[in-house]
Amino acid sequence: MADEDKGDGKKSTLVGQIIASVAVAILVGGTSPWWFNAFFRKPAPPSVSPETTVGREAAISNPPEAAPVASDDFFVGRWRVDQEVGTVSGENVVDYYRNGRFEGRSIAGSGNQGLKKLESGKWELDKLSDRTFRLTLMNDDGTRWTGKFKILDQNHIQNIDENYVAERVE
């Protein structure tokens, strides 16, 4: 591009004029070129709609159910385990009471024979962590059983040693 002489002795270039115009437009902002927002865009503030506010309030007033913690209060109730012993299959259903007693029916095995029997006695729960506990059953017939459990959710526990899941039932 050729330099032009304005007659006052100063030379300017066409490129210099364009650069000056663009610089002024950028500084002024309101008269900036079409591409200004593509390079200098500010993030939009988050919008809050009535639905968003209601959803947030609902989440605060109805928090998700807290994970259950190993305790006597958690364990009290009726628990069922589907089981097979030899040629007999069925379910063990046992009620655990607040007073530390239990009663129910279970399947017992002897060799390859299975036998349904009633059982009752005392139970104790030892908390090992928030999600695990040891259950000890002291049967009225003098036998004793101990199992270690992991809480899966409010209605399911897993016997860690024997790898079965017990389900809370009404």
Q: What is the DSSP string of 96-153?
A: E-TTSEEEEEEEEEETTEEEEEEEEEEEEEEESSSSEEEEEEEETTS-EEEEEEEEEE
Amino acid 111: pLDDT: 62
Range of lowest pLDDT (25-39, 63-77, 93-107, 138-152): 25-39
Residue 91 lies in a domain: yes
Say whether both 156 and 91 belong to one domain: yes
Q: What is the pLDDT of residues 92-109, one digit of tens each?
A: 899 999 999 999 988 766
Strand partners for 126: 134
Task: Print the domain residue range for 19.
Answer: 7-61
Residues 57, 78: one domain?
Answer: no
Q: Does position 67 have pLDDT exceeding 90, yes or no?
A: no
Is residue 123 over pLDDT 90?
yes
How far apart CA 24 and CA 132 sit, in angstroms, is: 70
Select from 19, 41, 61 the last residue of a domain.
Answer: 61
Query: Are 78 and 57 part of one and the same domain?
Result: no
Shared-domain flag, residues 86 and 161: yes
Residue 121 backbone zone (phi > 0: left; psi -120 to 50: alpha; other: beta): left
Domain count, the chain: 2
In a domain, 67, yes or no: no
- Tokens standing for 13? 């270039």
pTM: 0.59
Calpha distance 80→33 (Å, rounded): 73
**HSE (side-chain half, CA atoms, 13 Å) at 84:** 2
Among the ranges given (10-24, 48-62, 79-93), the one the predictor scored with the smallest mean pLDDT: 48-62
What is the domain-level CATH number for residue 149? 2.40.128.300
Q: Are residues 78 and 137 in the same domain?
A: yes
Does residue 61 carry a pLDDT above 90? no
pLDDT at 167 over 90: yes
pLDDT one-digit tens code per residue, 76-95? 999 999 877 666 677 889 99
